[in-house]
Amino acid sequence: MLVVGLTGSIATGKSTVSACLSAPPHCLPVIDADLLARQVVEPGTPGYRAIVNYFGPTTPDLLLPPSPNDRDGGDRPLNRPALGRRVFGNSEDRKRDRMILNGIVHPAVRWEIYKALLHYYIRGYWAVVLDVPLLFESGMDVICGTVIVVAVKDPTVQMRRLRMRDPHLSSEDVENRVRSQADVRAKARQAEFRGTRNARGIVLWNDGDKSQLEREAHRAVGCIRDSSPRWWAWLLLLFPPIGVAFAVWNLVVNIWTWRSWERQIKGKHVE
Ligand SMILES: CC(C)(COP(=O)(O)OP(=O)(O)OC[C@H]1O[C@@H](n2cnc3c(N)ncnc32)[C@H](O)[C@@H]1O)[C@@H](O)C(=O)NCCC(=O)NCCS
Ligand SMILES: Nc1ncnc2c1ncn2[C@@H]1O[C@H](COP(=O)(O)OP(=O)(O)OP(=O)(O)O)[C@@H](O)[C@H]1O
């Protein structure tokens, strides 16, 4: 099974592309890390308790106000915009709090991702889409056969779309969220570095309209299919030793590519 990593930055169009890949004619299953990141901090989960213990004493509005539908004695859900204000931004305090939140949420999300991958592998899917905003930052790109980066060249387009989609965010919130992530153009270069000719890295530029993005997404699936035909997926599924050997080979190539990329980036910083 081919793991197709889908990433970008906030509001660059990942969900728009994943909706296109999961709809006919492609019908690919999508593992959505943002959704999993919500599920692992629902009331009653260990993630929820860890967040309330750490952020609760210093964040008065961390939980949503009580509503008439609440069960007696039930925990109130997290107030996500309030938690976002604690962790997004570039001050040292925000960066530290973001690291702590990531340390609570990411291991639980990673575990859920592995379970979902196994689920789709057993069901014989030829490919699965892994929609992870922080794919490169978390190192999960090394398990992907292909990485698609959805990017915009102009950051003001990104901020305008985010403001339109999430009108409850202030201009400062929007700016803090965008600046809390690596530059999406650098992610695009990292995808290209994996190799565009063999479809290991694909960049979808989303500065135009949605129909243009959807056309690009369909074209990308065509390229991926050509580089990973269906008989190959069946071979890997029916002969598990070949599947395991190929997965290990893919991992080695990805780690090697990642190391070369890091060396190149460090070299540029030193110059
Ligand atoms: C801070 C939280 C509560 C804000 O929730 P909110 O519902 O307002 O935003 P949402 O979860 O939909 O995230 C929107 C986008 O913000 C960006 N983002 C989210 N978390 C982070 C982070 N830790 N670092 C950088 N960018 C992030 C992503 O692009 C994401 O798609 C939430 O984002 C969170 O729990 N983040 C930590 C977990 C995480 O890293 N999630 C991303 C996928 S694993
Ligand atoms: N080409 C486009 N033209 C106009 N609007 C767009 C375009 N692409 C996406 N949008 C809109 O921009 C907003 C952000 O897109 P989307 O939700 O797909 O981004 P995302 O990368 O998944 O964001 P997040 O990281 O926050 O989950 C949405 O409201 C979407 O409808």
Q: What is the pLDDT of residues 168-193, one digit of tens each?
A: 999 999 999 988 888 999 999 999 99
pLDDT confidence tier of residue 265, bands split at 50, 70 and 90 = confident
Q: Which atom of ligand 1 is nearest to the CA of 10?
A: 29
CA distances from 81 to 54, 105, 144, 168, 225 (A): 17, 16, 31, 9, 39
How many Å apart are CA 24 and CA 119, to the nearest integer?
21
Residue 270 has pLDDT above 90, yes or no: no
Question: What is this model's ipTM?
Answer: 0.92
Indicate if the pLDDT at residue 271 is higher than 70. Answer: no
pLDDT in tens, 46-65: 999 999 999 999 999 999 98
**Least-confidence region, from 52-61, 72-81, 84-93, 242-251:** 72-81
Residue type, 142: V
The CATH-assigned architecture of domain 34-124 is: 3-Layer(aba) Sandwich (3.40)
178 lines ligand 1 (CB under 6 A): no
Q: Which of 31, 179, 141, 48 is nearest to 101 (CA)?
A: 48
For ligand 2, the distance from its centroid to the CA atom of residue 25, given in whole angstroms, is: 21
Ligand 1 atom nearest to 181, measured from its CA: 25
Q: How far is CA 36 from the centre of its chain?
A: 11
The secondary structure of residue 229, as a DSSP letter, is -
Q: How much distance in Å is there from the Cα of 171 to the middle of ligand 2?
A: 17
The CATH code of domain 1-29+126-271 reads 3.40.50.300
Ligand 2 atom showing the smallest separation from residue 17 Cα: 18
- The yes-or-no answer to whether 1-29+126-271 and 34-124 have a common fold is yes
For ligand 2, say whether the CB of 16 is within 6 Å of any of its atoms: yes
Calculate what percentage of the chain has a pLDDT beyond 90.
75
Residues 101, 51: Cα–Cα separation, whole Å? 7
DSSP secondary structure letter of residue 142: G
Q: Which atom of ligand 2 is nearest to the CA of 16?
A: 18
> How many angstroms separate the alpha carbon of residue 16 from the centre of ligand 2?
6
Instruction: Please indicate whether residue 219, judged by its CB atom, sits closer than 6 Å to ligand 2.
Output: no
Instruction: Give tens-digit pLDDT for 129-161.
Output: 999 999 999 999 999 999 999 999 998 999 999
Per-residue pLDDT band at 269 (split at 50, 70, 90): low
The Cα–Cα gap between 93 and 98 comes to: 9
For the segment 210-263, what is each residue's pLDDT rounded down to a tens digit?
Answer: 999 999 999 999 999 988 877 887 888 788 888 889 889 999 999 999 999 999
Neighbours of 130 (CB within 10 A): 25
Q: Which of 16, 22, 30, 38 to mutate to test the pocket of ligand 2 (most atoms within 8 A of CB)?
A: 16
Core vs surface per residue 71-104: b (16+ CB within 10 A) or e: eeeeeeebeeeebbbbbbbeeeebeebbebbbeb
For position 267, what pLDDT does the model report?
77
Geometric angle at alpha carbon 128, from 17 and 109, rounded to 5°: 90
Per-domain residue ranges for the chain?
Answer: 1-29+126-271, 34-124
**SS3 annotation, 37-86:** HHHCCCCCCHHHHHHHHHHHHHCCCCECCCCCCCCCCCCCCECHHHHHHH
Q: How far is the CA of 210 from the centre of ligand 2 (A)?
A: 9
Mean pLDDT, rounded, for 95-105: 96
Q: Which long-range contacts (CB under 8 A, 24 or more apart) does 247-255 make?
A: 250/145, 251/142, 251/143, 254/141, 254/142, 254/143, 254/144, 254/194, 255/142
What pLDDT is stored for residue 179 in this prediction? 86
Q: Closest Cα to residue 221, out of 21, 34, 2? A: 21
State which ligand 2 atom lies nearest to the alpha carbon of 207: 1
Other beta carbons within 10 angstroms of residue 111's beta carbon come to 12
Check: CB of residue 168 under 8 Å from CB of residue 81.
Answer: yes
Rounded to an integer, the average pLDDT of 24-35 is 95
